[in-house]
Amino acid sequence: MAIADVWVRAGALAEPDGWSGMAHFLEHAIFKGTDRLPPGAFDLEIENRGGTTNAATSHDYAHFFIATADRYFQETLPYLAEILLHASIPDDEFIRERDVVLEEIRQANDNPDGVAFDALMDTIYQVHPYKKPVLGAVGELLERSPQEMRSFHQAHYQPQNMTVVITGGIQEDLALESIEDCFRDFPSPPSCPTSRVEAEPPLDCVRRRELYLPRLELARLNMAWIGPGIDEIHDAYGLDLLAIVLAGGRSSRLVRQLREERQFVQWITGDFSLQRDSSLLTITAGLEPVYLNTVEEFVVRAVHQLQTTPISEVELARAKRQLCNDFAFSTETPAQLAGLYGYYQTLANAEIATLYPQRIQTFEPEELQQLARRYLRRDCYAITIAQGE
Amino acid sequence: MTSIARPTSSVRKTTLNNGIAVIAVENPTADIMAARIFFGAGSRREKPDRAGVAHLLATVMTKGTETRSSMEIAEQVESMGASLGTDTAADYFVLGLKTVSEDFAQILALAAEILQRPTFPESEVKLEQRLTLQAIRSQKEQPMSIAFAQLRQSMYAEHPYARSSLGTEASVSELTRDDLLDYHQTYFRPDNMAIGVSGCLNSSEAIAQIEKVFGDWQAPEIPLPPEELPSIASQPGCQITTQETQQSIVMLGYLGPSVSMGEFFDGVSTDYASLKLLDTYLGNGLSSRLFVELREKRGLAYDVSAFFPTRLDRSNFVTYMGTAPSNTQIALEGLRAEVERLRVTPLTPEELQASKNKLLGQYALGKQTNAQLAQIYGWYEMMGLGVEFDDRFPEAIAALTSQIALETAQRYFLEPYISLVGPEKFVSAIA
């Protein structure tokens, strides 16, 4: 089993004004091949050998992976490099694939959880491009040309933005040699408008939005606080622990109180998602509309309590154990490892990834209390509420 | 205790004295243990007016035993950073667990207690019953889930495969704690179970730990009740739900074979293997026929695919896509033409080989994590296929010819069941 996972610092954050959706659309268009590889040929080369391939785009990155049996590694890597470096983006394929992206947007718009999450991002961020959905705005997508996409591609898919991760049953020297062979002769970067990523100012109030969505049977409550970016990784890991203490499992504070005891919610979860800048701690619940206010107040009190009272040693030990084991469980396969290393190398550097369990173990209740005071203010959060029409 | 070591791999099957089949896989790559504990239960063992009892039982089961409360169970699992969850499907019930190896014995003992001596506290039954009713209503939020629900209903009518495993609002609201006790007593017994276990412990030790906590469990005197399943009659039609969504969902279904229907090649149903191959050809991956013809060449959809699950009774072969409402008719014709084409046009030698490579390659890729290994072997055993199926299935696929696939398509791809969800203006015209 061999994985080749290529990460490119060319997510939605790289998009200039008016180009919203370009990074994701490009991810689709790259599969349309090159002058030497007609549309569909790449997919056939990988899949006919029993392999799989796919790609994903976020604000912070785009990545492309292939998974094959070890013996096909050397034969398939050149194809991946070829489409990534030399995508030709023919005009007619651009137009056709744009229809596919528009279908993807329609599908997303029919998913209430996705719509509610996009609204939360738009509510919590004031200036940062994390505001905008990765899929983009239809109007802006329709205004862009194949030539603009080619310039975006060639400007960003350059060595300094790229991480190639190889995992699985491949010797290191063979992997390095193959990468050297395949990832060379990058096109010279053309001029392309650049993006502006403004630092997000601290949140200084409660930002609130209410949505009414068709067909919604259960209301959704999404709350978020802004945390640090990856350059303050230690603080970020502290928030990871706090998210678990709040709502990670049946014994966590909010699940226990709101689902099991008071029965106000159908479900409630807490999550910390690490991003390059201004990461997010989110609490999400599904509930009957009648409990919306009560649950919001409850969450705010629980968050505030993290500032006033240190968490107990038992809770801390449990949260540490949960995170460290989750880390072990999510690094079982070569594909998971490749994703982990690629992600960290793209945002900072890959070595950080391996230190995660050690870092988590260092936290004491007092430090977490300080982090809660710094990041989880009870009067500075965003909330979106979605209800049926 | 009888034990058969398979010569070519680290998979070992053992049957405990009380009838429990244990399939143990040694996989030293990580300090992890996973187990999947199966019972011959699930929706197929539900009476229609008790639909959802297996699911409700699954949710309440982890919420109390003779010695532990719901919170004590949660605290024990979470303080060890383990996972322990129950689930129910059409053909089985399963408890899954995952731990680092040093915690395995303790979590396994907890699982054994949960499975053998659950108390189903009344308050927990009420809570989970109410939340299940909410969840049933929430299924209507997703167009894809509506489309599949009405397709299943029209294909299977009275058969349990017609229903969501959650049950219906009517049946779930009538369930009581006594129903759970009754279902538990009837189906949770050592002669109706199989355990898949995989991880870094050597298999003798894993089996010894399982024997220690499950070995004393005795099957009741009364035999398992016979299955009473209504037959499945083919009556294709068109089901429509109108709603003002941005996409229409177009779904086509055909009644397929069970995993053991028709003629066999070395222990594997040829019909089943052929449809697995055609499912791969049509719907699996970026080079699949539906993806290339309907998405890449015509831009009709983002999500277009097929599925054909492995089932004890007659399965369903389904193709589907989401598309702009104005394309509803074209999408339906496109999907239908692609399936029906398989009745007249044999796969070319290249297509046949590519589909085999893809299916077998992905089959291998699906056996990586300890949870996946425990699942697949435990499940094969529970389905009555045996661990040997893991070798026989790839051999059966390799032996297929285009002619066999064509003949199978001719037998199964007759009139489709159609399911449409979308804006009235575009979907109503089609019936």
Of A129, A123, A107, A360, nearest in space to A237 by CA: A360
DSSP string of B57-80, one letter each residue: HHHHHTTBBSS-BHHHHHHHHHHT
Which of A193-197, A239-243, B208-212 has the weakest average pLDDT? A193-197
- What pLDDT shows up at residue B227? 92
Give B63 to chain A, closest Cα distance, Å.
10
Instruction: Sort A198 into a burial class: Cβ within 10 Å, 0-12 / 13-18 / 19+.
Output: exposed
- Position A319 pLDDT exceeds 70: yes
| A275-294 confidence digits (pLDDT tens) | 999 999 999 999 999 999 99
- Position B7 pLDDT exceeds 90: no
- Position A382 pLDDT exceeds 90: yes
CATH ID of A206-388, from 3.40.710.10, 3.40.1370.10, 3.30.830.10, 3.40.50.970? 3.30.830.10
Q: Chain A: residue nearest B303 by CA?
A: A104
| B296-338 confidence digits (pLDDT tens) | 999 999 999 999 999 999 999 999 999 999 999 999 999 999 9
Residues of A in contact with B326 (CB under 8 A): none
- Position B387 pLDDT exceeds 90: yes
Give A69 to chain B, closest Cα distance, Å.
8
| B214-257 confidence digits (pLDDT tens) | 999 999 999 999 998 999 999 999 999 999 999 999 999 999 99
What does each C-alpha distance from A188 to A7, A130, B296 come to in angstroms? 19, 29, 29
| B366-382 confidence digits (pLDDT tens) | 999 999 999 999 999 99
Distance CA B201, CA A74 (A): 34
| Strand, helix or coil for residue B284 | coil
Pair type for strands B238-242 and B248-255: unpaired
Q: Tell which of A25, A42, A107 to mutate to test the B interface (max B CBs under 10 Å).
A: A107
DSSP string of A55-69, one letter each residue: EEE-SS-EEEEEEE-
A107, A214, A317: residue with CB nearest B303:
A107
| B41-79 confidence digits (pLDDT tens) | 999 999 999 999 999 999 999 999 999 999 999 999 999
| B77-130 confidence digits (pLDDT tens) | 999 999 999 999 999 999 999 999 999 999 999 999 999 999 999 999 999 999
- What pLDDT shows up at residue B240? 97
- What pLDDT shows up at residue B29? 87
- Average of per-residue pLDDT values in chain A: 97
- What pLDDT shows up at residue B5? 45
Across residues A265-272, what is the average pLDDT? 97
Distance CA A239, CA A241 (A): 5
Strands ordered across the beta sheet of A280-287 = A206-213, A381-388, A219-226, A280-287, A265-273
Across residues A243-251, what is the average pLDDT? 97
CB–CB contact A318 B303 (8 Å) = no
| Strand, helix or coil for residue A383 | strand
Q: Tell which of A53, A321, A324, A329 to mutate to test the B interface (max B CBs under 10 Å).
A: A329
Structural domains in chain B, CATH included, are 2-214 (3.30.830.10), 238-430 (3.30.830.10)
- What pLDDT shows up at residue B8? 43
Q: Where are the domains of chain A?
A: 2-182, 206-388
Distance CA B88, CA A286 (A): 22
Tokens representing residue A195 in the block? 């993006």
Give B361 to chain A, closest Cα distance, Å.
4
CB–CB contact B302 A107 (8 Å) = yes
Q: How confident is the model at residue B9 (pLDDT cuts 50, 70, 90)?
A: low
- Position A61 pLDDT exceeds 90: yes
Residue type, A21: G
Residues of A in contact with B78 (CB under 8 A): 248-252, 318, 321-322
- Position B209 pLDDT exceeds 60: yes
| A320-370 confidence digits (pLDDT tens) | 999 999 999 999 999 999 999 999 999 999 999 999 999 999 999 999 999
CB–CB contact A110 B246 (8 Å) = yes
B98, B141, B353: residue with CB nearest A215:
B141
Q: How confident is the model at residue A296 (pLDDT cuts 50, 70, 90)?
A: very high
Distance CA B417, CA A368 (A): 57
Give A100 to chain B, closest Cα distance, Å.
5
What number of residues does chain A have? 389
| A179-191 confidence digits (pLDDT tens) | 999 999 999 999 9
Instruction: Sort A173 into a burial class: Cβ within 10 Å, 0-12 / 13-18 / 19+.
Output: exposed
A100, A216, A322: residue with CB nearest B302:
A100
- What pLDDT shows up at residue B265? 87
Residues of B in contact with A97 (CB under 8 A): 299
- What is the ipTM, given to two decimal places? 0.95
B71, B82, B364: residue with CB nearest A325:
B82
Question: Are the beta carbons of A178 and A80 closer than 8 angstroms?
Answer: no
- Average of per-residue pLDDT values in chain B: 95
Question: Are the beta carbons of A255 and B127 closer than 8 angstroms?
Answer: no
Domains A2-182 and A206-388 share a fold: yes
- Position B348 pLDDT exceeds 90: yes
- What pLDDT shows up at residue B10? 84
- What pLDDT shows up at residue B57? 98
Give B29 to chain A, closest Cα distance, Å.
8
- What pLDDT shows up at residue B6? 45
Of A314, A297, A316, A296, nearest in space to A371 by CA: A316
CB–CB contact A109 B243 (8 Å) = no
CB–CB contact B368 A321 (8 Å) = no
CB–CB contact B246 A249 (8 Å) = no
Tell me the Cα Rg of chain A.
22
Q: How confident is the model at residue A65 (pLDDT cuts 50, 70, 90)?
A: very high
Tokens representing residue A93 in the block? 């394929």
Residue type, A300: V
Residues of A in contact with B302 (CB under 8 A): 100-101, 103-104, 107
A43, A67, A318: residue with CB nearest B365:
A67
- Position B3 pLDDT exceeds 80: no
- What pLDDT shows up at residue B431? 63
Distance CA B390, CA B89 (A): 21
CB–CB contact A97 B80 (8 Å) = no
- Position A155 pLDDT exceeds 90: yes
Strands ordered across the beta sheet of B316-323 = B238-242, B417-422, B248-255, B316-323, B304-307
Distance CA A163, CA A345 (A): 7
Distance CA B263, CA B270 (A): 6
Tell me the Cα Rg of chain B.
23
Fold exhibited by the domain A2-182:
Cytochrome Bc1 Complex; Chain A, domain 1 (3.30.830)
